[in-house]
Amino acid sequence: MSVSEKLMRLDRRWVFLLLIVVCVFTFYADFQIPILTEPESEAIYEFIDSLPPGDIVFIAIDYDPNAWAELHPMTFAIAEHCWRKNLRIIFTALSQNGPGMADQAIRDLSDSLKLDRVYNGVEFKGREIVRGVDYTFLGYKPYYALVILGMGQDFRLPFPTDYYGTPLDSLPMMKGVFNYDQVACVVSVSGGTIADAWVSYGQGRFGFPLFFGLTGVMTAQYYPFLGSGQVSGLMGGLLGAAQYEELADNPGRAKEGMRVQLLAHIVIIVFILLGNVGLFVSYRRKLKEGR
């Protein structure tokens, strides 16, 4: 078998092997890579950054643990940004296996908020994040479409109590907060079709500013909504998250993950190129033989 053919008919297991190697290697290698931000994620960052303290941001943690790797960084980056800006947050977890994970995430977040930090040159004092004051975690209810509709009437319809069983009325921050009208924007971090529901049942009916954090695979599918103005900004996959971390000057999981991403992408690109070189060479030979 000639070289060109070898290049074209490599056993795919070589690809697999190299990917694994790269992945493991990055765990031990220590290097940083710069991140280039894009307007889609900047839109979200700027919107949230421009909100006055005390405003309420609605963050829907709409994903199962299996989308954890990609979407957790977004949730963390945004929520931390909000709290550093003294915004208040309403969380939901409208995905079946989500609530436990979401609860844990919120705990981790409020721990990390205790530390003093400097973001983009601004000094942020660490503070205690208080449930019912800084955030309300509504939890999970089945049939997300109906839940989203219900919350348009009043959060208390689908969620008479929060995730921990406290009646919403007895939570300080929920005083005078009834439905989306009292919310500055909705950020749906979603790993599935719940995003559609947020567009057609949520934004479509109640017209709040809607932002998406999506898994890489979904992103392309949701650009039309960006174009038609139903969605005001979105973060796609780990890169989107990394961009937000870059914007918020809060390097975390996403930027960490981007290192593997970069090498893995290079591996794949190299293989694609090899294949095409092989193709090219064999064409050339065919042409020669043709003469």
Site for another protein in 69-108 (CB under 8 A): 69-70
Task: Give me the helices (H) in 29-125, please.
Answer: 39-50, 68-84, 98-112
Q: Does residue 3 touch another protein according to CB under 8 A?
A: no
Binder of another protein out of 170, 220, 249, 285 (CB under 8 A): 220
Smallest gap from Cβ 268 to another protein, in A, equals: 5
Angle among Cα 266, 71, 166 to the nearest 5 degrees reads: 170
For the bound state, the minimum distance from the C-beta of residue 89 to another protein, rounded and expressed in Å, comes to 24
Decide if residue 177 touches another protein (CB under 8 A): no
Footprint (CB under 8 A) of another protein, residues 242-261: 257-258, 260-261
* H-state helical runs in 140-182: 144-153
Considering the rule CB under 8 A, would residue 51 count as an interface residue with another protein? no
Strand order in 88-92's β-sheet?
Answer: 135-137, 88-92, 56-62, 185-190, 210-214, 233-236
Q: Using CA atoms, how far apart are residues 5 and 244, in angstroms rounded to an integer?
A: 44
Compare residues 39 and 128 and give the one whose CB is closer to another protein.
Answer: 39
Number of residues forming the site for another protein (CB under 8 A): 72
* CB nearer to another protein: pick between 87 and 238: 238
- 191 three-state secondary structure: coil
Q: Which is nearer to another protein, 126 or 216 (CB)?
A: 216
For another protein, the closer of residues 53 and 142 by Cβ is: 142
C-alpha to C-alpha distance for 53 and 65, rounded to whole angstroms: 31
Is residue 161 a contact residue for another protein (CB under 8 A)? no
Residue 78 CB, nearest distance to another protein (Å)?
Answer: 18
Is residue 143 at the binding interface for another protein, with CB under 8 A as the rule? yes
| Minimum separation from the CB atom of position 108 to another protein (A) | 16
Between vectors from CA 173 to CA 106 and to CA 251, what angle results, nearest 5°? 35
10 binds another protein (CB under 8 A): yes
Q: Using CB under 8 A, which of 221, 249, 284, 285 touches another protein? A: 221
Q: How far is the CB of 276 from another protein (least distance, A)?
A: 6
117-119 and 122-124: which strand pairing? Answer: antiparallel
Provide φ and ψ at 8, rounded to 5°: -85, -25
CB of 20 or CB of 133, closer to another protein: 20
Q: CA–CA distance from 237 to each of 20, 107, 213 (Å)?
A: 21, 23, 7
Contact 114, 128 (CB under 8 A): yes
